[in-house]
């Protein structure tokens, strides 16, 4: 089957510090998975933050970056300098080669930014 692991359920970072949220994935059925980071801000719905569909490529959005590493099956989310407005729950996810199939989500990491 498919699975996505986010090891940290909650992360607290001081404003202007750097951030890394770890994500690893496993799939037995998808040769070339698409990888995603979704974000849910307080009181809002789930939004796509970034996606990468090719191994070795990097995706970026709103100052966040993630690199699709097929060797380590990882897709860690990083940001050089966080802001209070980045406080949200971040979900790493894996999808099939063609997008109109199920997406498998990680458990989510709640990010709190200390002012």
Residues lying near another protein in the complex (CB under 8 A) are found at 4, 38, 44-48, 51, 53, 91, 95, 97-108
Least distance (Å) between residue 76 CB and another protein: 18
Decide the pairing of beta strands 64-67 and 58-61.
Answer: antiparallel
In the bound state with another protein, the residue whose beta carbon lies nearer, of 15 and 27, is 27
Decide the pairing of beta strands 88-95 and 24-27.
Answer: unpaired
CA distance 37 to 95: 11
Least distance (Å) between residue 33 CB and another protein: 12
Q: Report the chain's C-alpha Rg in angstroms.
A: 14
Least distance (Å) between residue 87 CB and another protein: 18
């Amino acid at each position: 089957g498919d699975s996505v692991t986010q090891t940290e359920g909650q992360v607290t970072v001081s404003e202007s510090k750097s951030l890394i949220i770890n994500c690893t994935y496993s799939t037995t059925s998808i040769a070339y998975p698409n990888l995603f980071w979704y974000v849910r801000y307080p009181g809002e719905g789930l939004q796509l933050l970034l996606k990468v569909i090719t191994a070795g490529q990097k995706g970026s959005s709103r100052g966040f970056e993630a690199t699709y590493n097929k060797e380590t099956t990882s897709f860690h989310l990083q940001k050089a300098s966080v802001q209070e407005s980045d406080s949200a729950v971040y979900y790493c996810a894996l999808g099939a080669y063609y997008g109109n199939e199920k997406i498998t989500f990680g458990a989510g990491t709640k990010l709190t930014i200390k002012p």
